[in-house]
Amino acid sequence: MRAFFPYIASALLLSGCATAVSKQEAATARFEPLPDNYQQLIREFNVGRLKDPYTAVYRFGQPRRGYWQDGIALGGKKHFGYIVPVGINARNSFGGYVGEQMFYYGYENGRIVGVTSLWEGPPKMAGFIE
């Protein structure tokens, strides 16, 4: 059990306490509009993250207003912006397609942020507001 303690402690420290967004927070949040080229920005965000990014197949979902939250180690700050669900089917090291997987990307302050790990939790630290 002692061997697992550092891992459990660091997981709790990084994850933080996810809190739901209140109606007041949602009403006062500032949502910067998505630029017309947000799909291209998401593709560029993935260039260094995929084995063969130029052959990846993207299926973009409807952008919606949402939030994501930093872990306790980063201060627990809530971020508000548009979240875009994206299905990506990319090639692996053997050249075969792996099948579509869902990813979530936030847009805040002119930049794309990957929020998939916050979305899937636990604890869930991202979500749609509407």
In terms of Cα–Cα distance, which of 27, 5, 9, 16 is closest to 69?
A: 16
**Quick one: tokens of 49?**
């993250």
Give residue 7's pLDDT.
44
d(CA 122, CA 54): 32
pLDDT tens digits for 4-24? 444 444 444 444 454 577 788
pTM of the model: 0.79
Mention every residue, 6+ apart, whose C-beta is less than 8 A from residue 16: 69, 70, 71, 72, 73, 76, 123, 125
Q: In terms of residues, how long is the chain?
A: 130
Give residue 13's pLDDT.
46
Give residue 19's pLDDT.
57
Average pLDDT over residues 109-113: 92
Provide the residue range defining the domain that includes 83.
2-128
Give residue 115's pLDDT.
92
Helix (H) or strand (E) holding 114: strand 111-114
pLDDT tens digits for 49-99? 888 888 999 999 999 999 999 888 788 889 999 999 999 999 988 989 999
Count structural domains, the chain: 1
